[in-house]
Homo-oligomer: A and B are copies of this chain.
């Protein structure tokens, strides 16, 4: 039986993930887009860590799984969508930037809910929200060198690929 600190370690790391996702939103609010992107990347590292810790210490739990989804929703759903919107798409014609950002969030929520219910192991159905959010954070870091149309198209692509039936093998 793992002792208390071990048992809570994976969940504590998961909660650090949502703290960095929320900090990303705070820095987006403050127009510090570079830092906002970096905080999403830190959340992605923590997201990779918590699962590994839980498996290594054999402390995987239903609570941990639920917590993981909720944190992913914030750090890789809401945070990158708001970052890309505020940094690049805020003045895009016909509010298309806002609509695409909202679509990305909705698709992210559906992706996470579907994955939890289907309980597939061995592969992902549709690209994982962590991958999509990390890609968008990297995109935000290089946004100054890229046309807004391309960024809008990539945001839309990520949204569609999350809810697609593409099978991606787990590493």
Contacts and interface: CB of A to CB of B under 8 A. Distances in A.
A82 to B, nearest CB: 6
Task: Give the interface size bracket for A toward B.
Answer: 35 or more
B22 A81 contact: yes
A117 to B, nearest CB: 5
A18 interface: yes
Interface stretch (A105-113, A141-149, A154-162): A105-113
Interface stretch (A51-59, A64-72, A131-139): A64-72
Interface of A: 15, 18-19, 22-23, 25-26, 28-29, 61-63, 66-67, 69-71, 73-74, 77-78, 81-82, 85-86, 98, 101-102, 105-106, 109-110, 112-114, 116-117
